[in-house]
Chains A and B, each alone.
Chain A
Amino acid sequence: MVIFEPPPEISLRDPPAVAPELVAPEPEHCPGPESQNAGKSDACAGCPNQAICAAAPKGPDPDLPLITARLSSIRHKLLVLSGKGGVGKSTFSTMLAHAFAATSPDTQVGIMDIDICGPSIPKMLGAENESIHVSASGWSPVYVADNLCLMSIQFMLPSADDAIIWRGAKKNGMIKRFLKDVEWGDLDWLVVDTPPGTSDEHLSVNTYMRESGVSGAVVVTTPQEVALLDVRKEIDFCRKAGIRVLGLVENMSGFVCPNCKGESQIFRATTGGGEALAKEVGVEFLGKVPLDPRIGMACDYGESFFDAYPDSPACAALMEVVGKVRRLVGDDEDNV
């Protein structure tokens, strides 16, 4: 009889430990190569990695202080999260970065794209064909303006369409390098764009960044229940991991026909949309951003939507959300 067991809780607050180099994939009930029981649990019997895991040094990852030192020159670190794909995480990250960078030429902004299998930020910032410079002190991020830089795996691919067929452990290694080896310099804002879900990337970025302090997470959703279902899980993840949720943004909320100006609900909020979810789970609702086809166009061409259509209703809605995010992380003084 095969018993359908509910997913076990995993500890999200332990300090990250070092994972040894393995010679074979982890077995099914692997305690984790970096865990205290590595090499000693029942599942380890017969695993080709057993000796390696058992001999590996236990304890916190020695790279952690290096990461914390690297990130100490960044004032505000924001995560943009959603359990659901295609709701506009990357678009919103890009908009946030553009809005922060527009405050003043002295405001330094960085975006870190940790969507390893589907990086979109370089395209949205019109930096697709750039590459990264490597020096003795680390990897230089790609600058698209004097005060706006980004880092993404897309810059390391031989061809733009190459697939990154990596299991979790390898993705974690790359995220660690993004935090440890990238010369972010003095930043006022670092926006971290994430893939959908609650898995390796999210766990890693949380464990590596916790020490240096994450200002909070902005969760993005669309209005329909099928999306809210996954976003609920993301907020549950944040709770478990101890990440502060700054608030929830509802994207693609209503559509105004450019021909007749009639409004339609493309992704209808049958259960009250983002606003009801925010109330239900007790997080702040940051606002609704209408669906505007020109946002997608601006992203495809790597232009700033704010610069192209400053008078659009979507732009006004976004600016309001950005203002709220600023207030929530206590960045009012920048507006003076």
Chain B
Amino acid sequence: MTSLNRVKHVVLVLSGKGGVGKSSVTTQLALSLATRGYSVGVLDIDLTGPNIPRMFGVESASVLSAPGGWIPVPVDGGRTLAESGGSIRCMSLGFLLRDRGDSVVWRGPKKTAMVRQFLTDVLWGEMDYLLVDTPPGTSDEHISLAEQLRSLTIVDGAVIVTTPQAVATADVRKEVNFCKKVGIDILGVVENMSGFVCPHCSECTNVFSSGGGKVLAEQYNIDFFGAVPIDPSFVMMIEDNNANAGSEEANESLLDKYQKNALCPIFREIAGKVVAKTSPFGE
């Protein structure tokens, strides 16, 4: 595939369960990898519920066509981080919709064709990491992704996202078995929404139980990448970034804003583990 031949690593973000934070984890992983100086691409193959444009504050952007394919949308207006040189570009079906409330009502074959096109017709160019954000489940999008990527050696594997409660880990177990069946390596498990620290009394409540991700990792002998608490300040950061998009206050880049977020140190560590697993001998 020519569109991916200058991409060094492909990492999938998967979960059998919806709403566990696949897109949040993808976003934060991208921000953390960019902070480390990598050029990062984010491909959103959630076709009926694309969230990546909003996550990066680029909902109003449109995709440009060039000879040979589509040009991905740069985050933060294409600015690279002054100190590290990292950058983020993304691609999503969300950029194609006439109205943000429009539904995409597609059956399997059409979804399969779109996923294939996203993997062959996007001009990613030179890139260190391509993160692929997926919809929940083990169906058309996932099968197509596995088929398209099967022959590529740059696919390092998947980061599995779960929340701690048993109802979620039951579905995530299915995703782990899917990876085994189709031959996708699992890099590690991230337990998201693991506890909430009350801003009033600092007591930590396990809103969605706790420890489920760790148990899952142990059961399948997969690395546990860490537990991420619920932190409304991350959603607030995303929402503020969207509200101020295009205004004077948009001077501060999303990457800079994230450096001040409480979740940043946790994802710095998770990104470090992803890097260690994907480039064991260093860059």
* A and B interact physically: yes
Judge whether B262 is part of the interface by a CB distance below 8 angstroms: no
> Given A165-B182, A257-B201, A266-B232, does the pair A117, B112 have CB atoms closer than 8 Å?
no
Interface string of B111-145 (1 = CB under 8 A from A): 11100110001000000000000011111101100
Chain B contact patch, size range: 35 or more
* Cβ contact within 8 Å between B239 and A225: yes
- Of the listed stretches B33-41, B46-54, B81-89, B272-280, name the one at the interface; the rest are far from the partner chain: B46-54
Whether A297 contacts B113 in the complex (CB less than 8 A), given A84-B18, A118-B16, comes out as no
Question: By the criterion CB–CB under 8 Å, are B198 and A199 in contact?
Answer: no
Q: When chains A and B are docked, how far (Å) is the Cα of A12 from the Cα of B105?
A: 9
Query: A90 CA to B105 CA in the complex, in Å?
Result: 22
Q: Which of B93, B104, B230 contacts A266 (CB 8 A)?
A: B230
Q: Confirm or deny: A147 has a beta carbon within 8 angstroms of a beta carbon on chain B.
A: no
Number of A-B contacts (CB under 8 A): 257
Residue-wise, chain B 158-190 has the 8 Å CB interface mask toward A (1 for contact) of 000001011110110111111001100000000
B55 on the A face (CB < 8 A): yes
Contact A167 B139 (CB under 8 A): yes
Contact status B108-A118, CB under 8 Å: no
Mask: chain B, 47-69; 1 = CB below 8 Å from A; 0 = not: 01101001100000001011111
> Is A199 in contact with B166, judged by CB distance below 8 angstroms?
no
Q: How far is the CA of A201 from the CA of B34 in the complex (A)?
A: 38
In the complex, which residues of chain A have a beta carbon less than 8 angstroms from the beta carbon of B166? 123, 300
Chain A residue total in the interface (Cβ 8 A): 82
Tell me which of B165, B167, B175 has the highest count of chain A C-beta atoms within 10 A of its own C-beta. B167
Query: Judging by beta carbons under 8 Å apart, are B174 and A117 in contact?
Result: yes
Whether A135 sits at the interface, judged by CB under 8 Å, is: no
Check if A258 sits within 8 Å of B205, measured CB to CB.
Answer: yes
Interface residues, chain B, with chain A CB atoms under 8 Å away:
16-20, 23, 48-49, 51, 54-55, 63, 65-70, 93, 95-98, 100-109, 111-113, 116-117, 121, 135-140, 142-143, 163, 165-168, 170-171, 173-178, 181-182, 196, 198-201, 203, 205-209, 230, 232, 235-236, 238-239, 242-243
Q: Which 4 A-B pairs have the closest CB atoms?
A: A85-B18, A86-B19, A168-B108, A262-B200
A interface list, Cβ under 8 A from B: 1-7, 10, 12, 25-30, 32, 83-87, 90, 116-118, 120, 123-124, 160-169, 171, 195-200, 202-203, 222, 224-227, 229-230, 232-237, 240-241, 255, 257-260, 262, 264-268, 270-271, 281, 291, 293, 296-297, 299-300
